[in-house]
Amino acid sequence: QITLKEPGPTLVKPTQTLTLTCTFSGFSLSTTGVGVGWIRQPPGKALEWLALLYWDDDERYSPSLKSRLTITKDTSKNQVALTMTDMDPVDTGTYYCAHNKWWETGYSTFDYWGQGTPVTVSS
Amino acid sequence: DIQMTQSPSSLSASVGDRVTITCRASQSIRHFLNWYQQKPGKAPKLLIYAASTLQSGVPSRFSGSGSGTDFTLTISSLQPEDFATYYCQQTFSTFGQGTRVQI
């Protein structure tokens, strides 16, 4: 059974750095074709893809946020962390981590999701 | 960046209706398109990948079609549990802005 869990609610001040750690079970990030990604959703708005990290250390980032994002993994702890620098109130929203399945045909899906965690950016 | 545009942004329908949602990419993405369903306060759920392949466990009333730049999600007979927001997503990248299906 695959599960993913984000940390509890986070409050950060503008210009600070956000670090979120996703803890997962039921799969290994050393298995071919497996990845973990982060997606966020501002209140009442659409989903926004942020970053994705694969079993082979392939890192992918949203082009518009790439300069602010870093995704890392700790395979032994079954964790993936997302760091976002220079936080701004517009970064407020729910942040999800999700299991990603990749096929050699190039298809990729977020097929299991965490419940999401609220992040608030405010002074 | 490739932009994904969904239409309509919202629609009203009744149980039993056939519902169609469109997603258009700003340039060809071949079949690299996924569809997700999200209910209020919940995480999204994968419905369809590779434009037309139904995810395991998803009811067969959901179907997807299209390739290149134009894609469609169809619900053949809307059920009460289908009232939600639907998002398309280009593989590895952008989500559409969502289509809210309401009563």
Phi, psi of A63 (to 5 degrees): -55, -35
pLDDT at B17: 97
Tell which residue, B12, B43, B15, B22, has the closest CA to residue B97.
B22
Q: How would residue A122 be classed by pLDDT, with cut points 50, 70 and 90?
A: very high
Question: What is the C-alpha R_g of chain A?
Answer: 14
Mutate to test the interface with A, among B89, B90, B99 (most CBs of A within 10 A): B89
Tell which residue, B95, B80, B70, has the closest CA to residue B4.
B95
User: Which residues are paired to A82 by β-bridges?
Assistant: A20, A71
Query: How many Å separate Cα B44 from the centre of its chain?
Result: 11
pLDDT tens digits for A58-108? 999 999 999 999 999 999 999 999 999 999 999 999 999 999 999 888 899
How many Cβ atoms sit within 10 Å of the Cβ of residue A78? 17
Does the CB of B32 have a partner CB in chain A at under 8 Å? yes
Does the CB of B83 have a partner CB in chain A at under 8 Å? no
Nearest to A116 among B43, B94, B97 (CB): B43
pLDDT tens digits for B38-72? 999 999 999 999 999 999 999 999 999 999 999 99
